[in-house]
């Protein structure tokens, strides 16, 4: 039988749900938190009385008033360990900017934790080690990450599995980490099709002053559909 959520945790979760959506109904909140709508109505009333600007009404839906923010200080032990492990994985496999960002995230998490839990950040015995990430692969992660965000085409000098090289202009859609290698999912203009490019086979990469339209057939959803229906 599942352990009921503590009321303080439930109130915090309600706030998080309201922050993520424009309007959320009591029924949606009740289903997500596995409580009755009556409990949700009572919790909404208590949040409003405590000063949280909840707007809306029963039967219509609720949303948070503008300008409200709540620092995420209520981390469970499991959540802390998940954050630490995730940050350590980024430190091991990410580009230099992401590695620095991961360290800063943990510093911020540690700063908002109550004193009784701060030691968990340093004491978490979960590690992600890598001795095989070449400096050029890290650099490629950083360059391609920026291209994906900017939706800019890139030029690749790429070597295939046989060592044959070719120049490719691609629309970068997403970066994937497979536990030992990074790949770039992209639309290849040379092949007029989707391709996966291993970052350790990219000999040179440059971002072009040419943005691509993020619309079908060159979207991440299109790429995922193609990869799950074809063997490439």
Give burial (CB, 10 Å; 0-12/13-18/19+) of 230: exposed
pLDDT-based confidence at residue 76 (cuts at 50, 70, 90): confident
Question: Where in the chain is CATH 1.10.10.10?
Answer: 7-64
The rounded distance, in Å, linking the Cα atoms of 201 and 157 is 9
Kindly tell me if the per-residue pLDDT of 94 is higher than 70: yes
Assess whether pLDDT exceeds 80 at residue 3.
no
Which residues lie closer than 8 Å to 74 by C-beta, 6 or more apart? 8, 9, 12
What residues does 174 pair with on adjacent strands? 185
Architecture of domain 135-229: Roll (2.30)
Q: Considering only residues 178 and 232, tell me which one the structure prediction assigns the higher pLDDT.
A: 178
pLDDT band at 13 (very low <50, low <70, confident <90, very high): confident
Mean pLDDT, to the nearest integer, of 139-157? 97
Mean pLDDT in residue range 14-26: 85
pLDDT above 90: residue 73: no
Rounded mean pLDDT of 161-172?
A: 96
Q: Distances in Å between the alpha carbon of 206 and those of 4, 174, 203?
A: 53, 16, 11
Tell me which H or E stretch contains 85. helix 77-93
- pLDDT(70) > 70: no
pLDDT band at 179 (very low <50, low <70, confident <90, very high): confident
pLDDT reported for residue 178 = 92
Q: What is the mean pLDDT of residues 159-176?
A: 96
Q: Which fold has domain 7-64?
A: Arc Repressor Mutant, subunit A (1.10.10)
**Stretch 63-76: mean pLDDT:** 70
Average pLDDT of the segment spanning 140-166: 96
199: Cβ contacts below 8 Å, ≥ 6 apart: 137, 140, 141, 144, 181, 182, 183, 184
Question: Average of pLDDT values for 45-50?
Answer: 90
The per-residue b/e assignment along 33-65, b for 16 or more CB within 10 angstroms, e otherwise, is bebeeebbeebbeebeeeebebebeeeebbebe
**H or E, element range at 166:** strand 165-177
Q: Where in the chain is the domain with CATH 2.30.30.520?
A: 135-229
Q: Is the C-alpha dihedral spanning 166, 189, 211, 202 positive or negative?
A: negative
Q: Is the pLDDT of residue 144 over 70?
A: yes
Residue 68 has pLDDT above 80, yes or no: no
Strand order in the sheet with 202-211: 193-198, 182-188, 165-177, 152-159, 202-211
**Confidence at residue 1, expressed as pLDDT on a 0 to 100 scale:** 47
DSSP 145-160: HHHHHHTEEEEEEEE-
pLDDT class of 65 with cuts at 50, 70, 90: confident
Distance CA 157, CA 148 (A): 18
């Amino acid at each position: 039988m599942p352990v009921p959520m503590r009321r303080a945790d439930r109130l915090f979760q309600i706030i998080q749900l309201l922050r993520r959506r424009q309007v959320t109904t009591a029924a949606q909140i009740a289903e997500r938190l596995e409580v009755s709508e009556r409990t949700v109505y009572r919790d909404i009333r208590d949040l409003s009385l405590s000063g949280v600007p909840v707007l809306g009404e029963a039967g219509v839906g609720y949303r948070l008033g503008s300008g409200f923010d709540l620092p995420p200080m209520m981390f469970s032990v499991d959540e802390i360990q998940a954050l630490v492990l995730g940050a350590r994985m980024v430190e091991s496999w990410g580009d230099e900017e992401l590695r620095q960002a991961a360290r800063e995230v943990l510093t911020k998490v540690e700063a908002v934790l109550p004193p009784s839990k701060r030691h968990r950040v340093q004491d978490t015995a979960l590690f992600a080690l890598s001795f095989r990430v070449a400096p050029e692969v890290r650099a490629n992660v950083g360059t391609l990450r920026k291209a994906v965000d900017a939706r800019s085409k890139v030029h690749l000098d790429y070597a295939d599995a046989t060592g044959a090289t070719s120049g490719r202009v691609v629309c970068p859609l997403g970066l994937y980490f497979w536990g030992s290698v990074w790949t770039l999912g992209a639309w290849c203009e040379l092949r007029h099709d989707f391709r996966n490019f291993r970052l350790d086979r990219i000999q040179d990469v440059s971002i072009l002053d040419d943005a691509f339209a993020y619309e079908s057939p060159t979207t991440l959803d299109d790429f995922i559909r193609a990869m799950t229906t074809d063997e490439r």
